[in-house]
Structure 1
Amino acid sequence: MDARGLRALSIVLVVVCSVAAAVAPIGAAADPGSRPAALQAEDELALEDADQIVMDVFIAENGSALVTVDYQFRYGENGTSKAAWERLRTDVESDTEAYVDAERTKWNDTVADGANETGQNMSLSNLSIATENETALQKIGHVEVSFRWESFAAVEINQLTAGPALSGFTLDDDTRLQFRWPAGYSIYENDGQPQIDPSPSNRTDDMVIWRGSEVGFADERPWIVLIEDGGSNANTTATPSNEGPTMPWTIVVLALALLAAVGAGGWLLGRERTADNGSKREAERPTQPDGSTGSASNAADGPPPELLSNEERVLRLLEERGGRIKQQAVVSELGWTEAKTSQVVGDLREADEIEVFRIGRENVLSLPEEDEE
């Protein structure tokens, strides 16, 4: 090859190398694995990024607890983007087992710390995870983690002591912790002092609530003592007497007869009032196109259930049932878990939207009665 041919070959080689050098960076930039981690993680959510975390602990009579941790994401204006929430929701639903494993590992560590703190034999079981999407005006996405915590509370005859198992647990500003207990139990009082620490943000007959923005835990854990109704709720013990009754039996029998008469009269009077009120409500009910009366028209006139908040759905159900319904019926009608139902009921009661009382061992919800002039 002469000198002219060598020169031409050199020029070709230089051009080829220059093109290869220019193409290589383009290929690298197109590789998604080479992008900065900050860009890859942009707008991605983890459970700990929730706008609010509600930890509900229902304490059973045997000391075990049903725990539900509700991670709430408010999406829309001034909140989490809807796209970010939908990505997290899809990720949880498509790779549920991975999230279950991660939550089980985290909570197993918490249970182990609680066992070391209390000396009780604790364990975690039946952990599950689910998502839910509210379509109310304030859009909220939920990721709910539920599990059973064995020996969460210490059991002693008719008392339950709960809280020390949460060794090292802290309340952030966006975290809410609530303890609930079965009907037939109440907070133990010693010399008139409720055995609960710290003082809760809110307290009802069957629930206490601590909000991280309002309270802090001494020694980084809560503490509460519950006693079965009918047990001793004071620091004194009754002394039995060997003496017979000092009141003549005749007086006792007459007093009982008088009480029975008063009770019967009150029952008849109440029955008449109930009948009158029922007739009045029946007359005020709007007539349906088919000539019948009832509350169906109220439900039809209002917005569909998917546009109502959880609280509004409970209030509508109460109105449809004449202003009174058992809490367990709300669970069945709306298809919610007991933990979620108790949380919504607690919020409504705290806002004075409803009243809650017991019949036997069941909670009954009712709309507040308006004072009549």
Structure 2
Amino acid sequence: MRQVALLVVLVSVLSVPVAGAAGVAGPASQQGAQAEASVPEEGVDVTIQIQSDGAARWNISTKYALEDGNDTAAFEDLRAEFEAYQTDSEFSVDVFRAVVPEVSEHVGRDMEIRNAGRSSTVVDHGNNSTGVLSVEFTWANFTRVQNETLVVDSFSGTWFGDLKSGQTLTIRPPEGYDTTSVQPAASIQGGAYKWTGPEQFASGEPTAVFTGAAEPPNGPIGVSMMAVVAIGVLALLVGAILVLAYYRGGPVGRRDGIPSLSAWLGDSDEGEAATDGAPGGTEPTEEPDSGGDVGEAVTPGASADAGAGQDVDPELLSDEERVERLLHEHGGRMKQSKIVEETRWSTAKVSQLLSSMAEDDRVEKLRIGRENLISLPDEGLDRE
């Protein structure tokens, strides 16, 4: 069992505040000190907030039960002197500054006490109240930092002591950190680890190990992961659209390429109906097909012979030649919807292809009701 050390110094002085007050004050202060002696001290709470950089923010609070008006008046005198640093009490950050060199040498880290302050408050609960005096400070390098792991190892030695009845010690890890180990066993309250006296600590205890990520969950790493997921989803969506467009445009291995995305999404400004036979429909903007021909170019005059040949592999014909061949096979005239059916191309592709062929005088188009009648130039649609 460790010797009771620093906590005894803090509590023994605070439980009898008369001695400190009478030593530095006159008769009036002595009267106030006598009143303070009647205030029953309830205990001491030590709370340590571990920070991600290895520092620790300490809060040491002593509590007084204020059961009547005399207790309250006595505490008001005490808190006024306490906040004005007029007491000769050992309840001071200087107690911790005195042990820092010893702890620093033991753990092998430079340490420093900074940002110290005092505060007091009265907490009301039911018919009674509790007066609280607090000392706060930051203890630099209190925790050993190993990459993203924080090791609480500065309680080694006998400087802190054991917890007596009415005393508590609470260690709170930084936000976002997981707990690897805590010794000895402690109760968990709001993510913090709390020991309540009487508690005897073994040599080197209490200890704790906390592990956290390089950035909090909503930091740069979280944002970058979300961005990667979003890009992946977008890539899959675009890929699915392109594959769908390709297979709807014709057989696998076709040379005419993939139809434009705007054709599948229905974007159009002017032109003929996108779906022949659909009431009120309009075709997308006509654009020349980008597919290339294989072999020698076929002129409009020579296309008839090429289209009429039955010994030519259809896969070796250009799109225009395949349309001309169909027209020859059907007496030189076909409905546009029939061409879509025979070629198994998309309606948008056929519409664009026929518009391009009409501009090159390779076919003629005649609007009949809601459909287009397509014919070879020598069929003479203009005469009908």
* TM-score tier (shorter): 0.3 to 0.5
- Structure 2 length-normalised TM: 0.43
Instruction: Give the greater-gyration-radius structure (CA).
Output: 2
- For normalisation by structure 1, the TM-score amounts to 0.44
